[in-house]
Each structure stands twice: as C-alpha cells, then as structure tokens.
Chains A and B, each alone.
Chain A
C-alpha cells in the first residue's frame, strides 16, 4: 500500500498505471493489516460486530425493546437481576436490557453513519475549498472555525438541540454542526500541505485548471485523511448521541439509546440495580474503543505523519 502511495508522490503520471497491491487483492491487504496492527484488527472486529448486531437485531433480541414485560402472574419485572430469563437484567420500568442494548446498536450506528456521511463529507469540502481558495474565503471560514472552537463541542450540540427540539434526526443535525470546526481545521491543514507538493505545482505549470487539480491531484491525496476522520468521528458521534440522550435532550425516552438507558442509573439507581448502569455503558465504551483503535491503526498505516494524538482524542467526551 505504501509503495503505491510513494509512486504517486514521486510522479503523478504513473498514478493510473501502478496498481497498488491493496487493489489487486483486498483480502491479502486485510490480512497484512491485521498482522501489522492487531489492535486495529480488534477495532475492526468490534465495528463488524456492531454492524451485525444492528442488522440482525430483530432475530437475536429476546424481547421487544420498547415493551414493558408482563410475566405470567401479570407482574412487571422491575429491576430483575441478570439471570436465565433476562441475561442482563431488566430496567426501572421492566424492559429487557439486553434487547434494548441490541436495538440500541441500530440507533448508535444510524446516528454515527448519518452524522459522518453528512458532516465529515460536507465539512471536508468546506475545508478543502477554504484551503485551496485562500484569501477572503479562507479568512472568513477560519474566523468562524476559531469562534466555534471556543465553545466545547458538547455545548454547541446541546444548544442546537435546544433550538431544534429532541428527535433522532435533529440529533444528527446537531452533531454535524458540532463537527464543523475540528473537521474543517484538520482538512484545511492537510490540503495546505498537499497544495504545496511538487506534483500540484507541476500540474499547474502544465496548465491544469483548479477543478482538475482539485479532483485529480488534491482529492486522491486526501482520501486517507477522509477515511481516518470518518472512523474517528463515527465514535465521536456515537458518544455525543449517548451524552445527549443521557442528559434527556437526545432521542425520545422510549427509543432504546445506550445513553438514555443510563439516565435512571445516574439518578442514584446504580446502587440498587448496578447491571442497569453497567451494561449500556459497557456497550458504548467497547464500540467507541473499537472505532478509536481502528482509526489509530488506519492513521498509522495510511498517514503516519498524523501520529501523536488523533483528532478523536481531542474531541470525544
């Protein structure tokens, strides 16, 4: 993979001719990645497990996640400890926790994918234009970014939720806006360095237009960054959605969100029913760790220059 990239850097003309080994046989590339970065592979497995859980939710969950269970004697099982009937116990109103966690994977993945597809993609373009256009456009965009950087991401997102009202799609919109400053900033600095590369200067020298330079030369060299950012920000979006739902301003309370499941636990119930406070948090923790590990490994393999502290580290809270 690296060999392919270096040829690109050395000579843009060869770009189309050299086929990178990754493209030739994807499974070999995956196997090589797993051997080089076992932790990254673990992250990838966690992500795959999340996707599988979300897709198969109706097949694998033992109960309806929204329904309050009524047992044979018409008793509602409030805070029943984990056991054979309820693998992770029941919650404060008598719903099965494992089913809610399984369906919660859908909410997390939906919000994560939605926010990343809209946010990372959209702000990526803005960052690229800002860096490429320079001058006034860059100045204005950078002032906005600076000003937004002054407010913690969570507070921006909370404020937007206050204005929009709580719903699943509003959570995505709020998170997308919360991503603006960090994504634009990262992409801009990347594009600024690519812009000065010799092959871009050479392309301009032979008379290539801006559109051609952006599409043919700058964008392919920012692809790795896009992939890395998308991975990190999936984890970031999942943790933000959980935070919002935990605070009661995210998705409506009957929607099985991992964050929302922890609200009751935080109100002092955790000593009464520790399982209700432990399992949903564990789900968030494992999934976010998975995305971070995968993101770190992708960064080390694709863009070693970014080593140090990843953008997710600066953001997730």
Chain B
C-alpha cells in the first residue's frame, strides 16, 4: 500500500504543476495583449485606450517581463498564499474568495450527499428488478435526468415551489454557524437542483455495477448456502458494487463544481460561481485565474484521495 500511495502521490505533483501552467497561460497568452483587452472591455474598442494607461497596466501586471519569469513569480506568490490583487476591487483576491469558497463547498457537499443517498437505492432496485417495469421507470428517470439542463431544472423547481407550495427560499445568505436552519432553507433548493443531474448518473453507474457483481460466483455461493435474499444483496453484492460508485462520485464532484456556477446564479447564492460570473463581466482576470486554480486544486486533491481510498478498499488496484 505504501508503495502505491507514494507512486500515486508523486503522479499528483506534475499534474498539479501542469494545471498551474495551463491556468496561467490561458489568461496571458490567448489573443494578443491582456492589458489592452482589460482596458478596452468586452467590445474591444481599443481606439479609446491611452498608450500611457496601457504601459502602466502592463507594468503593474508584470507583462513587460518574459513569460517564464511572470509564471515563476506568480507561482511563488501563489505558494505563499498570495493570489494577487483584484483588478476590479483593487483588494487582495483571497479576501473575496475565502467566504465564497466555503459557501460553494457546502453547496456541493450537500448536493453530492443528496445525490448518492437517492441514487444508490434507485440503482440497486433497478438492478435487482432488472427488466421489470420498475427498472424501466428508473432507467427512464436517469436518461431524463441526464438530458435535463441544470439551469432549466432550477427554473422549474423555483416555479413549482412558488406556485404549488407558495414557498421560496428566504433571500440573502446566512452562514451555517450563524443560523443553521436559515442556511439550510436557503441552500436546499440549489442543492436539490444540483443533486438531480448527479443522481441520474450515479444511479446508472450503481445499476450497471450491481448487475456485474450479481453475476459473480460468490453471489451464487451466498445464495447456495441459504442466505436470505436481502442479505445476499445487502452484504455481498452492494458492498462490492459500491466501489465504482465511490470512484465515480469522486470524479462527479468536479462536474458538480461546474454546475454550482449555474445554480448559484439562479438562486443568487454568494458563492464562487457568482464571483466567477462577476469577474468575467468585469474582465477581472486575476480573480478568474484564482478561482480556476482553486477549483483545479480541489478536484485534483479529491481525485488523489479517491484513488488512495480505492487502494485501501480494493487491494487489486495496488498491484497494477
């Protein structure tokens, strides 16, 4: 296990490094001069930009230095915990980001817990009752769930709750530690919206993983020695079928963080997603860069954790 863990962790470092290079170059190489793009605004009216202004911005951003020097100094700053100064708010990026980061993470964790909680039973039922009406219904449900765009689902949920239950989440935002109940009320609808997509996908994975396990010899053995069906499914099948579900859910988290942006902007949740959209509108590349980097780091660390726990749970993985 030790060897596997070390190998896997060593693989994580170059990937993270490549991610930082991508995040960095994405914003500073793409088309022409970022300083000009920032000053000219979205429509690209470069005629109105003064040369002195341009020169000054280039200097503050360090664009007059070679690209690898820029990258090196950016990376050392990031490693020191300095994500730069926002171009729009003129304050350190981390001040804006830290509270929003927690909000987004809370929302994402709530969604994934809801999704797994509903998807596993759904997938198991679908597999155990394979090719019956129940299975067909649950498969249709997951096909539909996968094609449902998150933003439309969000709108429909708001509409349904407002019309049929005459209830809308309270406006504003209360943190979990200030007012847990209010916080829950505010986040439950966005979390449900987010969960729905993952639910559909995770249910599919659970179903196919269960179907595979149910063909194994040890299941026949379990039945042959006279175990009750519930016990065969619960103890012998599900336990083994959950491994792929675990991996998939870990990777799902990355997808979820994409959906969070949309959901946050529908339900006006003050998380990283709304900040991301704001920073795109303000062309605040420093904030944008910080958010993308933070998300990449979270996802990579999570993937590492999933792989390591997989190594613990399934010894076969270690010897590959």
Contact = CB atoms under 8 A, between A and B. Distances in A.
Contacts of B204: 308-309, 313
Contact of A163 (B18, B31, B143, B149): B31
B88 interface: no
A114 interface: no
B154 interface: yes
Main secondary structure of the interface of A (DSSP, over half): helix
B305 to A, nearest CB: 13
A155 B292 contact: yes
Contacts of B251: 314
A285 B16 CA distance: 36
Given A289-B143, A292-B143, A317 B197 contact: yes
A203 interface: no
Interface string A158-185: 1111111110000000000000000000
A90 interface: no
B120 interface: no
A161 B303 contact: no
A266 B277 contact: no
A315 B162 CA distance: 30
A284 interface: yes
Interface string B147-174: 1111110111011001100000000000
A81 interface: no
A148 interface: yes
A170 to B, nearest CB: 10
B295 A155 contact: yes
Interface in A256-291: 259, 262, 265-266, 270-271, 274, 277-278, 281-282, 284-285, 288-289
Given A152-B295, A166-B42, A262 B155 contact: yes
A163 B30 contact: yes
Contacts of B85: none
A101 B154 CA distance: 20
A242 interface: yes
A262 B152 CA distance: 8
Contact of B262 (A247, A265, A278): A247
Contacts of A147: 15-16, 18-19, 21-22, 296
Nearest to B20: A147
Interface residues of B, number: 66
Contacts of A163: 26-27, 30-31, 34, 37, 285
A11 to B, nearest CB: 32
B276 A285 contact: no
A277 B27 CA distance: 34
Contacts of B34: 163
Contacts of A248: 277, 281
B18 A143 contact: yes
B282 to A, nearest CB: 10
A78 B148 CA distance: 28
Given A158-B261, A317-B255, A146 B18 contact: yes
Contact of B149 (A144, A285, A292): A285
A150 B255 CA distance: 9
A92 to B, nearest CB: 14
Given A151-B292, A165-B43, A262-B152, A158 B280 contact: yes
Interface of A: 143-144, 146-156, 158-166, 235, 239, 242-243, 246-249, 259, 262, 265-266, 270-271, 274, 277-278, 281-282, 284-285, 288-289, 292-293, 307-309, 312-317
12 contacts: A147-B16, A150-B19, A150-B296, A150-B300, A151-B296, A152-B257, A159-B26, A165-B37, A235-B147, A271-B162, A317-B150, A317-B255
Given A155-B276, A160-B26, A313-B146, 11 more contacts: A146-B15, A147-B19, A150-B19, A152-B256, A165-B43, A243-B150, A246-B151, A247-B277, A249-B277, A281-B156, A317-B255
